[in-house]
Amino acid sequence: MSPADEPFSLGEWIQRQFQQRPLVSWAVVGVAVVLFLLWLFTPDAPRLDPLQQQSQKEIQQRERKLLAYVINMLQRCEEYELEHVTARVVERLNQWVESQRLPQSWKLPQVVARFVPTELRNQLGFSRLGRLSFEHHEGVVLLESMWLRWISDQAVRQGGTSGEAEDSLAAAQRLFDWTVRNIQIQDVGEKEVRELVWQTLLFGRGHPLNRVWTFMLLARQQGMEVVLLAFPGEKENDPPRPWIPAVYIQGELYLFDHRLGLPIPGPDGQGVATLRQAAEDPRVLRQLDVPGRFTYPVRAEQLRELVALFEASPHFLTRRMRLLEDQLAGSQRLVLSIHADYIAQTLGRCAHIKQVRPWLWPYQCRIRQSKLRGTEREAELRKLQPFLEISGYRVRGKRSFNLEGALAKAGWNFLKQREQQRQREQAASGQESQPDPRNRTSEVEEVPRPLWQARILHFRGELPGEQGAVHHYQLLRIPRHELEKLHQQLLAMRDQLKRLQNDPTVPPDQLQQMQHQAQQAESLWKALLQAKEDATYWLGLAAYDRQDYPAAIEYLEHRILGNKQYRRWIDGARYNLGRAYEAAGKYQQAVAAYESDTSLQRHGSVLRARRLRQKLAAAASSRSE
């Protein structure tokens, strides 16, 4: 037997290993010591006893219920008053956030800290952006986000969703088209603009830059980033001068002109032009000239170095919104936060972009709105009156709709008053009181805030049926004879007030109360007339959305443009009438509608008319051959 075959103890084997392989042996010992120390000093994982486990489950269930309540309230916002929705949402979110784990420490993005002036940051409370508690105004922010998601989903429903460049561009075109058709631009001084996007959506009108802002946020809900391209200031400290929005898709910026209401056509009129194409090929922008009538005010050489402005409203920068966004998925998904520095870096790599910075317009609008006081604030609240203070009645039976008690706060509820008077007369004559089949008072069902409900249902794409937007719009299509009765009551109230002012027996406090009631009645009367006009116009847009072009033409041409008393929607009605005729294949009528446009969008309407004339000429030429 050789020495190697002789038996030996473990101690002898270890000693032999140290003699033959000292470095390896000491390394093994070192690793063993480290592992032992780690095991010794690592605390045991906490073990929850059954009561603790039950408590944790209860907390998770409570969190789910709170979030479900918030989503349900936002999704059913048409059933409640605006203030009720926003207050309840913020209240529940602050209960929910109490049990949330803190995300990573918050820090203001570098691009925001660099380009947003300190004065603006202070006025908008940037010091509070790192907090987890939700603020009162953020209830409206979440409501706005929900509307934007609904609208953008509806707009791109027919488009591709695979994420390819062609699909994204088609989706962007649909979003832009929705914005142009639904947001009528108006000529208002920039310093007077204070409406936010939710108001622009609700009112269906706004400053040209608010049309851009709306397009930006619609695209963001679909995972696309839209910027406002601007020319650098003439001097070093001058702010950039806005030009047009552009959609970022796979390294290129595709151009859309919000004043024309058109995408910028690519070379030879094909597709949508990119910034690179427009800057390097002078013919791209010259396609927008209409000889003798319009010259597009921008030249290719002006596009060599531009500034890209992106939307970075304060709520998009908060960690509370990011925390909430992470909890929403599927049909509940909302885009509530952005990575501002990443956006700046990505856009900065695009051709002909010299600088990327936050757009200050949203900040300025928010500040102007927060400073509203006195008569200015009252004027802003009056804009909401047709939506929030007009209530109607749905009458079941022969008539499919009716509106009563729109001025109920002034005591004007004629249907019920007539029924009560008839019952008193029958009681006095000894007759048994029977319901008047013409009145159908017993079948009157109150419909609170029909215009508010109709707008939200329209955003959600719920148009037909008794619970749809069209029905609620129709509730406000009050027959002239009913409006005349309301007007006569208003005149009677005025006359009575004049007589009472000279009556010394009327107590001053009662007279003051009646004066206030009369003023309220006057205000509600104007709101009622506006609500009918708005509903008539939006019925035309709803018909277009349903591809019922004859009905859209009827509302827009005859009931809006054909009514000399309706002036609020002239510009939008002419444009959308042209779109309805064009969609119906009636190109000559569409050309006439576009040519009648006298709005800020006239140049774009003339371009549309020119394109249709070319189609008509090509069709005539092919027939002659």
Whether residue 496 lies inside any domain: the answer is no
Q: Mark whether 218 and 259 lie in a shared domain.
A: yes
Instruction: Please check whether residues 346 and 393 belong to one and the same domain.
Output: no
> Domain for residue 123, yes or no?
no
Query: Which candidate, 314, 545, 543, 547, places its Cα nearest to that of 557?
Result: 543
* Residue 504 falls inside a structural domain: no
Name which residue leads in pLDDT, 237 or 292.
Answer: 292
> Do residue 260 and residue 292 come from a single domain?
yes
147 and 279 inside one domain: yes
User: Which amino acid is residue 102, in one-letter code?
Assistant: L
What are the tens digits of pLDDT across the range 254-297? Answer: 999 999 999 999 999 999 999 999 999 999 999 999 999 999 99
And the tokens for 48?
């929850």
Owning domain of residue 453: 384-480+509-624
Q: Do both 157 and 237 map to the same domain?
A: yes
Q: Average the pLDDT over each of 39-43, 44-48, 350-354, 457-461 and give the range with the smallest value.
A: 44-48
217 and 285 fall within a common domain: yes
* pLDDT score, position 8: 45
pLDDT value at residue 206: 95
- The answer to whether position 232 is within a domain reads yes
Q: How many CA atoms lie within 13 A of 506 on its CB side?
A: 16
Predicted TM-score of the model (pTM) = 0.84
How far is residue 11's CA from residue 431's CA, in Å, rounded to a whole number? Answer: 121
Q: Which of 50-59, 231-240, 582-591 has the highest mean pLDDT?
A: 582-591
- The answer to whether residues 356 and 401 belong to one domain is no
Structural domain includes residue 373: no
Question: Mean of the pLDDT values across residues 453-481?
Answer: 92
Model pLDDT for residues 146-194, shown as the tens digit of each residue: 999 999 999 998 654 444 556 999 999 999 999 999 999 998 877 777 8
The pLDDT, as a whole number, for residue 375 is: 87
Q: What pLDDT, on a 0 to 100 scale, did the predictor assign at position 396?
A: 44
Which amino acid type is present at position 338?
Answer: I
Q: What is the CATH number of the domain that holds 322?
A: 3.10.620
Whole-number pLDDT of residue 51: 53
pLDDT, tens digit, 9 for 90 and up, residues 343-370: 999 999 999 999 999 999 999 999 999 9
Same domain flag for 196 and 290 = yes
Rounded percentage of the chain residues whose pLDDT exceeds 90 = 60
For β-strands 225-231 and 306-310, DSSP reports them as antiparallel
CATH of residue 585's domain is 1.25.40
According to the model, what pLDDT value does residue 328 have? 94
- Cα–Cα nearest to 546, from 491, 613, 465, 605: 465
Residues 86 and 227 occupy one common structural domain = no
Q: Write down which residue in 312, 334, 366 finishes a domain.
A: 366
Answer whether 130's CB lies under 8 Å from 339's CB.
no
In the chain, count of helices (H) and strands (E)? 25, 10
Classify residue 614: in a domain, yes or no: yes
118, part of any domain: no
Residues 336 and 415 occupy one common structural domain: no
- Count of domains for the chain: 3
- Rg of the chain in Å (alpha carbons): 33
279 and 423 both lie in a single domain = no
In a domain, 372, yes or no: no
Claim to verify: residue 196 and residue 309 sit in the same structural domain: yes
Q: pLDDT-derived band of residue 521, with 50, 70 and 90 as boundaries? A: confident
DSSP state of 47: -
- pLDDT bracket for residue 510 (50, 70, 90): confident
- What whole-number distance in Å separates Cα of residue 450 and Cα of residue 406? 10
pLDDT above 70 for 15: no
The residue with greater pLDDT, 70 or 411, is 70
Whether the Cβ atoms of residue 199 and residue 217 lie closer than 8 Å to each other: no
